[in-house]
Amino acid sequence: MHKVCVLELFTFKNVRSFSSIGGGEASHLVQFIRSSTHGEPINVTKWVSWYQSSNICKAAFGELLKDQMKFIELVKELVELASGFSVANIFPSIKILHVLSGLRSRILKVHKNVDAIVEDVINEHKKNIASCKKGNGAFGGEDLIDVLLR
């Protein structure tokens, strides 16, 4: 994976296209903040997090991530579930704790939803490759999925 990223994904041309993704998303963020100044407080942390996640999604998946907000929320939920405290992690040999906590089933449920979104993106990329479209990236170049499908 490291070799693929260095030789294919992080070329000078691709890195330049990633910077244009960031610029476009930054202008969306500024427009949102400007349009929502009616004296109401704005959760800057939420929108900066959205900005970062959006940049990562566009660099990795291109413009094809239709459920981007849902995907970002699911990944956040998955991180919260996986990083939280669980008695089953302290006593991994006691298998019943995994069942009683319900954490594993919740993680698997969220993982299934994330997997469905990523599977749709991969299938859309395969369809575009089969129809000879030039790149699925944010600006017509290759993204991470295109590189990995080669």
Supply the pLDDT for residue 37.
Answer: 66
85-99 pLDDT, tens digit each: 777 777 778 878 777
Tokens representing 118?
């990523």
- Spatial CB neighbours of 34, under 8 Å, sequence gap ≥ 6: none
Find, among 150, 121, 138, the residue nearest to 56 by Cα. Answer: 138
Beta-carbon-side half-sphere exposure of residue 67 (alpha carbons within 13 Å)? 14
DSSP letter string, 75-111: HHHHHHHHHS--HHHHSTT-HHHHHHH-HHHHHHHHH
Compute the distance between CA of residue 62 and CA of residue 124 in angstroms, rounded to an integer: 11
Spans of all domains in the chain: 2-149
34-86 pLDDT, tens digit each: 777 677 787 888 878 888 888 788 777 776 577 888 988 998 898 888 887 77
Higher pLDDT, 115 or 9: 115
Compute the distance between CA of residue 90 and CA of residue 88 in angstroms, rounded to an integer: 5
What angle, 0 to 180 degrees and rounded to 10, lies between the N-to-C axes of helices 68-83 and 103-130?
Answer: 150
Residue type at 145 in one-letter notation: I
Q: How far is CA 86 from the centre of its chain?
A: 26
Compute the distance between CA of residue 41 and CA of residue 57 in angstroms, rounded to an integer: 27
